[in-house]
Amino acid sequence: MLIKGIAASSGISIGKVFKVKKEKIVTSNEKVENIQQEISKLEVALDISEKEIMIIRDKTARKIDRKHGAIFDAHIQILRDPELLNNTIGIIKNRKLNAGRALQITVDKFVKIFEEMDSEYMRERASDILDVSNRVLGHLLNQNINDPGLMEKEGIIVAQDLTPTDTASLDKEYVKGFATDKGGRTGHSGIMARTLEIPAVVGTKTIMENSSEGDDIIIDGEEGIVIINPNEEQLKEYRKKEKIYKDNKKRLKKFKWRETKTKDGKKIELAGNIGCPEDLSGVLNNGGESIGLYRTEFLYIGKKYCPSEKEQLQAYKEVLKKMDGKSVIIRTLDVGGDKSIEYMNTSKEMNPFLGNRAIRLCLERHDIFKEQIRALLKASSYGNLKIMFPMIATIEELRDAKKMIEICKEELTDEGIEINENMEIGMMIEVPSAALLADKFAKEVDFFSIGTNDLIQYTFAADRMNEKVSYLYQPFNPALLKLIKMVVDASHSHGKWTGICGEMAGNEKIIPILVGLGLDELSMSSSSILRIREIIGKIEYEKAKEIAKAALNMNSNKEVEKLLEKNFSY
């Protein structure tokens, strides 16, 4: 069966389905005769769950750090809590209920108590109890609760969607690709797949319904196709495609040490996007000249608490040191939207992407924002740091954010801490209002970086996570190109520079227009860097300028796409 979706991360992968299900487990009121047998079942499920949690704990400790691994020790404590066990056994014995139902009754009671407590810390324990009990229930009722963090052999993940926590726990050693029902190209899971350099197709709508655990599967991250149980012919075809893809990757290696410039000598900086210090090697191996976007939210996601100043400093310092004087743009916290954080206690919103997100949330939660700015300033003396604010919509937001830098600078100077005084401060252009007033903003920042994932979403009023409106992801549309031109021109007229760090920067087809519009820097997933360098080397700047000018006068995404196809082939 062939299913079409959205190509989210390039490459071909052939393997077996590893299904991740996240349904709520429902228990029945069925009575039991053999009490002892029911208690034994419960004990077995507890043992298996404990082993699983231990595996995840050790992996997390290896991948992130011991402290995060320790969160799972708390899960084991819950699992072995005598009250939880005795209460459940009591219900099995007294009410002759099956072990699953008995556990659920106990858990519901405990969760209610915790949820009603005043302390935020205690309320959080309620979700830990639910997490743990769901795992035990899954084993009791023989319901598969495959967890991506538990993969121990190679496979291709099939899921309805992957949460940022799921993607943070993906292990490249085992995950050879993934396909999801939901999501768009610029959602978090697609971005993570590109960073990890694993093929992915998202927004398939029906992959969960049409696949079973252990099925053979092909992921074509180039065309956005998934094939379940392929026939011999398809397998042959895709093995060939896989080889071509790999050979091409090898061929591109020769561009690793080359300068990025057009045929007629116009230089453009090619940078990499990262989500954590571990992603750096991908950027460096692929010849990235700098870091154009460090998404710091992954330091905050999937944890039970806010990362401390010390913990953040360590991560920022590591990146700056490894980049050895090359530019590193660190973006301040951008959560909300599709990335929610439990411990921030944000309220449910009707339109999360239009809600309390990114800089808006930081300006409300000064405590969290301050901790990050302090960590960044402390890190600034270890390399070439540039701080960037996300989602700025008004000049007041920018000024308030900059004020926080001033407050922290003063504090740290008083504490005798060294700070790099020449650090550049920039902002992302992701909201049309900021693009339209770029000439005003340009006076108050050192650089712009256009976040086209969001700028497209807000310009076309189309949720980037909703596959039904993914046709409105229109990077060639002149409406968007006009906004980009305004931003680039505004920055240049004030002696500042502009980059793009949205996924569009790594789109092979659009590159001539980005060059022609005068972008100074392009920052992308590491897997795209070498190919984009090769393409830029084939373009003439003068011609690119002409084409960009013509594109601005066209009517539609399609027309511009055709214009490019006619004029550039590489």
Q: How far is the CB of 451 from Mg ion (least distance, A)?
A: 4
Residue 410, Cα to own-chain centre: how many angstroms? 33
Tell whether residue 13 is a contact of ligand PEP (CB under 6 A): no
Tell whether residue 155 is a contact of Mg ion (CB under 5 A): no
Question: Is there a catalytic annotation at residue 188?
Answer: yes
Rank residues 199 and 451 by Cβ distance to Mg ion and give the closer one.
451
Give the H/E segment covering residue 290.
strand 290-295
- DSSP assignment of 183-196 equals --TTSHHHHHHHHH
DSSP letter (8 states) at residue 226: E
Q: How far is the CB of 379 from ligand PEP (least distance, A)?
A: 20
- DSSP assignment of 54-82 equals HHHHHHHHHHT-HHHHHHHHHHHHHHT-H
Q: How far is the CB of 116 from Mg ion (least distance, A)?
A: 37
Identify the three-state secondary structure at position 269. strand
Residues 6+ apart with CB under 8 A from 437: 395
501 binds, among Mg ion, ligand PEP, none (CB under 5 to 8 A by kind): ligand PEP
CB 199 within 8 A of CB 10: yes
Count of positions on this chain that bind Mg ion (CB under 5 A) = 3
User: What is the distance between the alpha carbons of residues 455 and 250, in angstroms, rounded to a whole number?
Assistant: 34
User: What is the distance between the alpha carbons of residues 390 and 150, in angstroms, rounded to a whole number?
Assistant: 34
Find residue 2's DSSP bridge partners. Answer: 227
Active-site residue, selected from the candidate residues 139, 188, 276, 408: 188
From 128, 166, 220, 430, residue interacting with ligand PEP (rule: CB under 6 A): 430
Q: How far is the CB of 503 from ligand PEP (least distance, A)?
A: 7
Tell whether residue 467 is a contact of Mg ion (CB under 5 A): no
Q: How far is the CB of 364 from Mg ion (least distance, A)?
A: 18
From 148, 190, 292, 451, residue interacting with ligand PEP (rule: CB under 6 A): 451
From 166, 220, 334, 446, residue interacting with ligand PEP (rule: CB under 6 A): 334
DSSP letter (8 states) at residue 293: E
Q: Is 312 exposed, middle or buried (0-12, 13-18, 19+ CB in 10 A)?
A: buried
Tell whether residue 338 is a contact of ligand PEP (CB under 6 A): no
Tell whether residue 454 is a contact of Mg ion (CB under 5 A): yes
Tell whether residue 383 is a contact of Mg ion (CB under 5 A): no
User: What is the distance between the alpha carbons of residues 37 and 326, in angstroms, rounded to a whole number?
Assistant: 64
Residue with tokens 């050790």: 58
Tell whether residue 472 is a contact of ligand PEP (CB under 6 A): no
DSSP letter (8 states) at residue 446: S
From 137, 200, 398, 501, residue interacting with ligand PEP (rule: CB under 6 A): 501
Tell whether residue 275 is a contact of Mg ion (CB under 5 A): no
CB 87 within 8 A of CB 107: no
CB 193 within 8 A of CB 199: yes
Interface stretch with ligand PEP, choices 19-27, 250-258, 360-368, 446-454 (CB under 6 A): 446-454
Residue with tokens 């210090």: 277
Q: What's phi and psi for 321, nearest 5 deg? A: -65, -45
Interface stretch with ligand PEP, choices 35-43, 205-213, 238-246, 447-455 (CB under 6 A): 447-455
Identify the three-state secondary structure at position 422. coil
Tell whether residue 502 is a contact of ligand PEP (CB under 6 A): yes
Interface stretch with ligand PEP, choices 8-16, 28-36, 45-53, 451-459 (CB under 6 A): 451-459
Tell whether residue 279 is a contact of ligand PEP (CB under 6 A): no
From 59, 75, 295, 496, residue interacting with ligand PEP (rule: CB under 6 A): 295
Question: Is there a catalytic annotation at residue 408?
Answer: no
By rule CB under 5 A, what string of x and - marks binding of each residue 391-430 to Mg ion? Answer: ---------------------------------------x
Contacts for 57-64: CB closer than 8 Å, 24+ residues apart: 59/149, 59/169, 59/171, 60/149, 60/169, 63/169, 63/171, 63/278
Interface positions with ligand PEP (CB under 6 A): 186, 293, 295, 334, 430, 451-454, 501-502
Interface positions with Mg ion (CB under 5 A): 430, 451, 454
Which amino acids are annotated catalytic?
188, 501
